[in-house]
Chains A and B, each alone.
Chain A
């Protein structure tokens, strides 16, 4: 079973996105894909969120929907992203959307 970012937060494990200092760049496979896994199937009508090229190509659009406070994705009944998860995605995007 995927160990979610939320689980790691709860257990006090450092998030990849919080490891500043540049020794390890955020990666889609390791850090971002697991974030989307719970609702990737539900979002197939728009994107395949497990597809690196699709997420990279639409990174700004996805960020806009994740961070839209009034109409944020993912929709209910999925829990909204935590501030830490949003930061993780933002950092990955601004870091060049590494694979």
Chain B
């Protein structure tokens, strides 16, 4: 089955390249490989071609373009004091590193988790590679030889690029500095990304638009709403984030914003049709249960060219698994797609476990659902979204907590979603990863007995698209194992669709291929890692895959070796 739609048609962007050229495949973040021959008839022949050790862990899905992988590492063991990052161009056929770029940083420039390199998917377009790093800088390299084209500092003012923001307030008190987690989106000669740090109560958050050729700032939008009665103006900057009052086009807001936080962690999605960007936002500081102050815990729409406000939508309060859920960031990214009627829609997941679809033009909610399971009578499952009360030892591993205790205790939903939906246009289905990280002692990132690490949903109504059994709670009939099987196996990553196959990576670490039709397991590769222990079920990530033609590529952070590896798979034509 060969795909009739190309990425260009999907995104309505005539100049969009093919390949997995940026976060989740394209500027609409469809997670759809349009140029692959991999399908259910041949995926069993998918074979590991290369495992490449890059001298550090990989904390992002790579980009794959024209037979080359572009990938960075989160820490670099090869630079001075092992504080810094590295970026690599790897040939899919040979597995050889054909170009590299590295940078060292001071230890106190790292992000709040201790990462010093980078953790976003690079954008590869118009002969350039663009990525953000944990030191708050955006790098642009030549896609050919990774020679440096320009570097812009978004943490400290960078006058030569017209960047006036110095975003370091609170750092001297031990709070983390602004860091670049957001994968840049590139279109029409421009770059958009988020910059901020939601764990620092003094720090502002921004969406920044840069010129692809020069790195010069085109506009900046602060995602901390200044005043309740109006939306922020483009290029309006908080006084706390500027040291010298900037000239036009910038203006300064001298008051105290209604909230801090609201960082854009995920990748911004771009609609060519509306020339609009959609920015996923994190929790506010101070935090609370939904509804929270704008522009937190939702999606902010801006005009892509001018940066002017176009709309905001927050997850509804009733969408949380528990009304006591707080810290309900949107950690993933929006997916832009068309429904069977031709409408341009947007889907988005939230750490509270909810998932919703919206009209891309108005941001009106069309449907929402809670991805985390409930009993058939609607009751909450005590082992899902556990909130330990204050009397529980914070170092106790998985203490028994009742529903009542969790509902009476405000806390983070460790089981929600950080994923971004992959879209299957013919079947009109959306696939979402489910589950959080495993570094909280009181609960793992997923209640594996009741929760699948991937959900398949119909676009229309968001009902389950794979057959369910009659159990309590109801579970997918097919695909187990691995679904519902290995304790703490979490779907932190992003599904990817190639024809009638949907790929998913997990914290096991593992890469799986399921049938898009019914969830049957078609193929798997178990990388290992979880069994090495650490934290609450292993501290490991396998991210991706990226799919370009018949190349399937994952990156991983795992115990042992050099901290992670790059894996390159392709169809083995000689297999039966």
Contacts and interface: CB of A to CB of B under 8 A. Distances in A.
A42 B534 contact: yes
B74 A45 contact: yes
B102 to A, nearest CB: 15
B81 A45 contact: no
B539 interface: yes
A43 B51 CA distance: 20
Interface string B348-390: 0000000000000000000000000000000000000000000
A75 B535 CA distance: 5
A54 B560 CA distance: 17
Nearest to A45: B563
B170 interface: no
Contacts of A47: 75, 77, 82
A40 B558 CA distance: 13
Interface in B100-129: 107, 114-115
A45 B75 contact: yes
B541 to A, nearest CB: 9
B394 A44 contact: no
Contacts of A77: 533-534
A72 to B, nearest CB: 8
Given A44-B559, A44-B560, A48-B82, A58 B439 contact: no
A44 B77 contact: yes
Contacts of B561: 44
A75 B539 CA distance: 10
Contacts of B482: none
Given A76-B534, A76-B536, A77-B533, A58 B57 contact: no
Interface string A65-76: 100001000011
Interface string B67-101: 00000001101001111000000000000000000
B392 interface: no
Interface in B545-563: 557-563
B534 A75 contact: yes
Interface residues of B, number: 31
A62 to B, nearest CB: 10
Interface residues of A, number: 21
B394 to A, nearest CB: 6
A40 B459 CA distance: 47
A41 B533 CA distance: 12
Best-buried of A42, A57, A70 by chain B (most CB within 10 Å): A42
B397 interface: yes
A16 B228 CA distance: 61
A45 B76 CA distance: 9
Interface string B508-538: 0000000000000000000000001111100
Given A46-B75, A57-B107, A75 B81 contact: no
Contacts of B532: 42
B441 interface: yes
A57 B441 contact: no
Given A45-B75, A75-B535, A76-B536, A58 B559 contact: no
A10 interface: no
A77 B441 CA distance: 11
Contacts of B115: 46
Contacts of B184: none
A61 B114 contact: yes
Given A45-B75, A76-B441, A53 B559 contact: no
Contacts of A44: 57, 77, 559-563
A47 B559 CA distance: 11
27 contacts: A41-B560, A42-B533, A42-B539, A42-B559, A44-B563, A45-B56, A45-B74, A45-B557, A45-B558, A45-B563, A45-B564, A46-B75, A46-B115, A47-B77, A48-B82, A54-B77, A54-B81, A54-B82, A56-B81, A57-B81, A61-B107, A61-B114, A70-B394, A75-B534, A76-B395, A76-B534, A77-B533
Given A44-B559, A45-B74, A51-B82, 11 more contacts: A41-B559, A44-B77, A44-B562, A45-B558, A51-B77, A53-B81, A54-B82, A58-B81, A65-B114, A76-B536, A77-B533
Q: Report, nearest first, the 9 A-B pairs whose CB atoms are least far apart.
A: A57-B81, A45-B563, A45-B57, A44-B563, A54-B82, A42-B559, A77-B533, A41-B560, A75-B535
